[in-house]
C-alpha cells in the first residue's frame, strides 16, 4: 500500500516543478512511511510514498520501470494474483528485476496494452507512463477500494491518492472553486459520489474506470461493472454454499500473501466472522484479531468478538473506549478527511486501525457483506415500501383514480402540497405523516422509485437543502440513481437495492472511510468479500437465498452453520441482530460539542466560503433543537471541520 502522485505539463516545453511533486509526496507520507521516490523526465513527473508489504527490499522502490525504461509505474494497492501473472508474463518473454507485485503492472501493460487492467486482481489506484506513446494511464480497482483524484485544466494534469495532496501542493494557479452540485450531493449522501469532488476542476475516477491522457487529449472508460445477470437456477442450497466456501477460501488465501505481519478486524458479526473463520483454517499460526468496544453496555458488542476469537483460537486484542476517549478524538478525526465526510463510524475505524497497527501491517476486514447479502435494515424497509406501492398499482389496474389526478399535477404543486401537510404535522409524527401521505392520498407509483429511494436515503430533507442552497440544480439530485435503476430494470428488487448501495454507499462512504482511517496509521486493509468473483456470484443469487422469512443475510448465516461454526451458542451469538459499533453522537452534540458546533455553523466566513444561506443554517439549528434535523447539523459541522482544515 502506498500513496501516489504525479504531474504532467500538457505543453512539452514546460518542465516539471519537482519541488511541487515532492510536496505532494510529503503530504502522503502517512500512507507510505517506508520510502519515497520521484521520477522526473521532461514534462512528466511521478511520485510515490511506499508502505513495504510485498518484497520489502530496495528492489521494491517506486516509481518502477520495465527493462529499457520505456514504461514507468507508480502504484498504490495490492495485486493478489501477482505470482500467477508473473509466471505467465515470464513465459511470454518478460524479465523481472524484483519480486514485487508492482513490477507485474508494467509488464502486463507492455503485453496487453490498455487491457492490462482486466488481468489485475486486486485493489489499486495506479499510474502508468508510456514514453514511446507519450501516454499516461490512470486506473482504479473494480469496486473502488482505493481512490485516485485528478485535476485537469489547459496547462497540466495533477493526480494523487488523496485530494489533499493536490490542493495543498501549492502548485501555481489551481482553480479551487467549490462545486455547488457536489455540495448538494454531500447534503444528501454524507459524502460526494464519484466522479465529482467538492471542487469543480478536481475529479476522481469511478470504480472500475481508467483514464487515458495522450498528447493532451483525455478520455475515461469503464473497464468493469457489476454484471447484471439473471438469478441462478434453482440449484440446491448446499451446492451454492459449497461454491461460496471455495470462492471465499481462494479470496482469503490470496489476501493472506504478505511479507509483513498480518491480522484481521473482528466485530463478532456475521461478515468478519466469515473472514476470520476462513483465515484461521488456512493459517499455520493463530491469526491476530482486533476489536473495540464501548464501556456503555447499551452500545457494547465486544463480548461477541471475544466469543468468536476463543472459538477460532485467535490471538485477540481489544480496546474498550469511554466517552472521554471518543469525545477527545471526534473533531480531530472527522476534520482529517480530504473531502467533506459525515459518517462518524470513522472514529471507531480510526481507533481499531491504530490498535491493529501496533502489531501488524496488514489487516483483513469483513466489509461488503451487507451490500452483497442484504444486511442493511434500510434495504428491507425500502423493499417493503416498494412491494406495497406495486401492490397498489396492480390493484388500481395501473391507472388508479387517486394516482391519476396526482400525476397530472405540476411537480411544483405536488411539492407544495407535501410541504403544506408537513408543516401541519406534529414534529414527532412528521415521518409517519409523510408516509401516510404517499400511501393513502397521493400513492406515488413505484416507477418513481429513484425519488422514493432518495427521500429515504437523504440525510438532509429537501426543504432544508433548499433553505441552505436554494433550488438551483435540485432536479438532478436523483440523476445517478435513475441511471442505475434503468440499467438494472430487469433485476429483482433485492438485486436492484443491492446494486444501488454498491454504486453509492459502498465506494463513496464505507471504502473511503476504511482507506483514509487505516492509512492514517499506514495500515493496509484487505477485503476478501469484495473479490470481484464473489461479488458476481452474490449478485446472481436468487432473492430467497439472501432474504428468507424476513431473515437478512440468510445465506451467510447458513454458510457459517454449514462450514465454520458447530457450537450452537457461538452461532447464535454471531447471527444475532447486530447493531455495529455505535456511540451516542447525539449526546455529544447536545453537550460536549454543542458550543463548537454552533460557533462553526454560524461563522460568516464558513457560510460565505461554501455558499450557505444564513437563514437555512438557522433553520437547521432550530430543527435540531426540536429533534428533527440532527443529521443535517452534523453534516454541516463536518463540512465546517473540513473547510477549516483544508481551506483556511
pLDDT one-digit tens code per residue, 491-503: 777 778 788 888 8
Per-residue pLDDT of 62-116, as tens digits, reads: 999 999 999 999 999 999 999 999 999 999 999 999 999 999 999 999 999 999 9
> Is the model's pLDDT at 490 over the cut of 80?
no
* Domain of 607, in residue numbers: 585-647
Which of 470, 493, 516 is the last residue before a domain boundary?
A: 493
Q: Which of 462, 493, 524 is the last residue of a domain?
A: 493
Same domain, 479 and 524: no
Residue 498 forms part of a structural domain? no
Higher pLDDT, 425 or 376: 376
Rama region for 229: left / alpha / beta (φ>0; ψ in -120 to 50; rest): beta
Task: Say yes or no: 144 and 67 in one domain.
Answer: yes
Kindly report the average pLDDT of the chain as a whole number: 87
- Quickly state the pLDDT bin for 149 (edges 50, 70, 90): very high
Element (H, E) at 156: strand 156-160
Is 116 strand, coil or helix?
helix
- Say how far apart CA 462 and CA 87 lie, in whole Å: 56
DSSP string for residues in 275-338? HHHHHHHH-SSPPEEEEEEESSTTT--HHHHHHHHHHHT-EEEEEEE-HHHHHTTHHHHHTT-S
**Cell numbers given for 7:** 504531474
Rounded distance, CA 617 to CA 627, Å? 15
Q: Are residues 43 and 154 in the same domain?
A: yes
pLDDT at 406: 54
Residue 347 in domain: yes
Q: Is 379 a residue whose pLDDT tops 80?
A: no
Please tell me what DSSP assigns to residue 438.
I
Whether residue 156 is contained in a domain is answered as yes
pLDDT at 398: 46
> Does 356 share its domain with 389?
no
Judgement on whether residues 299 and 359 belong to the same structural domain of the protein: yes
- Element of type H or E holding 389: helix 377-395
Give the DSSP H or E segment for 122: strand 122-130
Q: Please give the average per-residue pLDDT across 465-470, as a whole number.
A: 92
Confidence label for 386 from pLDDT (cuts 50, 70 and 90): low
Q: At what angle do helices 270-282 and 237-255 cross, to 10 degrees?
A: 70
User: Is residue 580, in this structure, part of any structural domain at all?
Assistant: no
Q: Is the pTM of this model over 0.85?
A: yes
**Mean pLDDT to the nearest integer, 286-304:** 85
Share of the chain above pLDDT 70, in %: 85
Question: Please, which pLDDT band fits residue 231 given cuts at 50, 70 and 90?
Answer: low
The pLDDT of residue 445 is above 50: no
**Res 487: pLDDT:** 80
Q: Residue 580: its pLDDT value, please?
A: 59
Are residues 351 and 256 both part of a single domain? yes
pLDDT, residue 114, reads 96
> Total structural domains in the chain?
4
DSSP tag of 548: B
Specify the higher pLDDT residue, 39 or 500: 39
From 205-209, 297-301, 332-336, the region with the lowest mean pLDDT: 297-301
Residue 207 pLDDT class (50, 70, 90 cuts): very high
Task: State the DSSP code for 441.
Answer: I
Q: Are residues 251 and 347 in the same domain?
A: yes
Smallest CA-to-CA distance from 478 within 499, 507, 452, 443 is with: 452
Q: Which of 117, 120, 79 is nearest to 100 (CA)?
A: 79
Cα–Cα distance measured from residue 486 to residue 452, given in angstroms and rounded to the nearest whole number: 15
Catalytic residue annotation: 2
| Average pLDDT score over residue span 221-239 | 81
**258: CB partners within 8 A, 6+ apart:** 53, 54, 361, 362
pLDDT in tens, 587-630: 888 888 899 999 999 999 999 999 999 999 999 999 988 877 77
534, pLDDT greater than 90? yes
Indicate if the alpha-carbon torsion angle 138, 139, 140, 146 is positive or negative.
negative
| C-alpha torsion angle, residues 253, 256, 259, 265 (rounded to 10) | -170
pLDDT confidence band for 441 (50 / 70 / 90)? very low
Q: For residues 358 and 409, state if they share a domain.
A: no
Which of 58-62, 361-365, 402-406 has the largest mean confidence? 361-365
Residue 68 counted as domain residue: yes
pLDDT value at residue 578: 66
Place of cell 503485453: 111
Rg (CA), the chain: 25
Of the ranges 103-112, 219-228, 230-239, 379-388, which one carries the lowest mean pLDDT score? Answer: 379-388
Residue 304 is part of a domain; what is its CATH number?
A: 3.40.50.620
Asked if 13 and 52 sit in the same domain, the reply is yes
Domain identity same for 30 and 172: yes
- Of the chain, the end-to-end C-alpha distance in Å amounts to 30
Residue 21 lies inside a defined structural domain of this protein: yes
- DSSP lists the bridge partners of residue 525 as 363
| Mean pLDDT, residues 201-210 | 97
Domain boundary among 438, 463, 493: 493
Mean pLDDT value of segment 281-304 = 87
Mean pLDDT along residues 396-405: 48
In tens, the pLDDT along 323-346 reads 777 877 899 999 999 999 999 999
410-428 confidence digits (pLDDT tens): 666 766 766 665 556 544 4
- 89 and 212 in a single domain? The answer is yes
Asked if pLDDT for residue 558 goes beyond 80, the answer is: yes
The answer on pLDDT for 395 being more than 70 is no
* 228 within a domain of the structure (yes/no): no
Q: For residue 590, count other CB atoms closer than 10 A to its CB.
A: 15
Q: Is residue 87 part of a domain?
A: yes
Same domain, 363 and 441: no
CB under 8 A, 24+ apart: contacts of 553-558: 553/270, 553/369, 553/370, 553/373, 553/374, 553/375, 554/373, 555/240, 555/241, 555/244, 555/373, 556/270, 556/271, 556/274, 556/369, 556/373, 557/270, 558/237, 558/241
Amino acid at each position: 500500500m502506498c500513496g501516489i502522485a504525479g504531474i504532467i505539463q500538457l505543453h512539452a516545453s514546460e518542465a516539471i516543478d519537482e519541488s511541487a511533486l515532492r510536496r505532494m509526496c510529503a503530504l502522503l507520507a502517512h500512507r507510505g512511511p517506508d520510502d519515497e521516490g520521484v521520477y522526473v523526465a521532461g514534462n512528466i513527473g511521478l511520485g510515490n510514498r511506499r508502505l513495504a508489504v510485498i518484497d520489502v527490499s530496495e528492489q521494491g522502490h517506486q516509481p518502477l520501470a520495465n527493462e529499457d525504461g520505456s514504461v514507468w509505474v507508480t502504484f498504490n494497492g495490492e495485486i493478489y494474483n501477482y505470482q500467477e501473472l508473473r509466471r505467465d508474463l515470464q513465459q511470454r518473454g518478460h524479465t523481472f528485476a524484483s519480486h514485487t507485485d508492482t513490477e507485474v503492472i508494467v509488464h502486463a501493460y507492455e503485453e496487453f496494452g490498455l487491457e492490462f487492467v482486466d488481468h489485475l486482481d486486486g485493489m489499486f489506484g495506479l499510474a502508468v507512463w508510456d514514453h514511446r506513446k507519450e501516454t499516461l494511464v490512470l486506473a482504479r480497482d473494480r469496486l473502488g477500494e482505493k481512490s485516485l483524484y485528478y485535476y485537469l485544466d489547459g496547462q497540466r494534469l495533477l493526480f494523487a491518492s488523496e485530494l489533499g495532496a493536490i490542493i495543498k501542493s501549492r502548485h501555481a494557479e489551481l482553480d479551487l472553486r467549490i462545486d455547488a452540485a457536489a455540495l448538494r450531493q454531500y447534503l444528501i449522501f454524507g459524502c460526494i459520489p464519484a466522479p465529482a469532488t467538492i471542487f469543480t476542476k478536481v475529479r476522481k475516477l469511478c470504480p472500475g474506470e481508467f483514464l487515458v491522457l495522450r498528447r493532451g487529449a483525455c478520455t475515461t472508460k469503464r473497464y468493469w461493472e457489476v454484471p447484471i445477470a439473471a438469478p441462478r437456477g434453482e440449484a440446491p442450497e448446499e451446492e451454492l454454499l459449497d461454491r461460496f466456501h471455495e470462492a471465499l477460501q481462494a479470496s482469503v488465501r490470496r489476501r493472506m500473501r504478505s511479507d509483513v505481519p498480518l491480522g484481521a478486524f473482528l466485530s463478532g458479526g456475521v461478515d468478519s466472522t466469515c473472514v476470520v473463520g476462513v483465515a484461521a483454517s488456512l493459517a499455520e499460526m493463530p491469526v491476530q484479531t482486533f476489536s473495540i468496544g464501548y464501556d456503555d453496555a447499551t452500545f457494547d458488542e465486544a463480548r461477541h468478538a471475544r466469543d468468536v476469537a476463543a472459538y477460532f483460537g485467535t490471538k485477540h486484542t481489544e480496546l474498550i473506549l469511554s466517552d472521554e476517549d471518543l469525545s477527545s478524538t471526534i473533531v480531530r478525526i472527522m476534520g482529517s478527511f480530504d473531502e467533506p465526510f459525515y459518517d462518524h463510524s470513522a472514529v471507531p475505524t480510526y481507533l481499531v486501525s491504530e490498535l491493529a497497527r501496533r502489531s501488524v501491517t496488514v489487516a483483513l476486514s469483513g466489509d461488503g457483506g451487507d451490500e452483497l447479502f442484504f444486511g442493511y435494515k434500510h434495504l428491507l424497509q425500502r423493499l417493503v415500501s416498494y412491494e406495497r406501492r406495486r401492490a397498489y398499482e396492480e390493484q388500481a389496474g395501473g391507472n388508479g383514480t387517486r394516482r391519476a389526478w396526482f400525476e397530472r399535477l405540476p411537480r411544483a404543486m405536488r411539492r407544495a402540497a407535501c410541504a403544506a401537510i408537513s408543516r401541519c404535522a406534529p414534529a414527532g409524527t412528521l415521518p409517519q405523516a409523510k408516509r401516510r401521505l404517499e400511501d393513502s392520498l397521493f400513492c406515488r407509483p413505484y416507477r418513481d422509485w429513484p425519488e422514493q429511494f432518495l427521500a429515504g436515503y437523504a440525510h438532509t430533507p429537501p426543504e432544508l437543502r433548499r433553505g441552505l442552497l436554494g433550488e438551483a440544480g435540485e432536479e438532478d439530485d436523483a440523476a445517478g440513481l435513475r441511471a442505475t435503476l434503468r440499467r438494472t430494470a430487469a433485476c429483482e428488487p433485492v438485486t436492484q437495492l443491492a446494486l444501488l448501495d454498491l454504486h453509492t454507499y459502498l465506494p463513496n462512504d464505507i471504502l473511503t472511510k476504511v482507506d483514509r482511517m487505516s492509512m492514517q496509521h499506514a495500515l493496509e486493509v484487505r477485503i476478501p468479500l469484495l473479490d470481484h468473483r464473489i461479488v458476481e456470484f452474490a449478485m446472481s443469487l436468487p432473492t430467497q437465498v439472501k432474504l428468507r422469512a424476513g431473515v437478512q443475510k440468510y445465506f451467510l448465516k447458513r454458510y457459517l452453520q454449514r462450514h465454520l461454526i458447530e457450537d450452537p451458542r457461538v452461532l447464535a451469538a454471531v447471527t444475532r441482530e447486530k447493531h455495529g459499533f455505535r456511540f451516542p453522537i447525539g449526546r455529544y452534540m447536545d453537550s460536549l460539542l454543542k458550543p463548537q458546533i454552533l460557533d462553526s455553523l454560524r461563522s460568516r466566513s464558513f457560510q460565505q466560503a461554501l455558499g450557505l444561506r444564513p437563514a437555512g443554517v438557522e433553520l437547521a439549528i432550530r430543527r435540531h433543537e426540536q429533534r428533527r434535523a440532527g443529521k443535517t447539523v452534523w453534516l454541516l459541522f463536518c463540512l465546517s471541520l473540513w473547510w477549516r482544515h483544508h481551506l483556511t
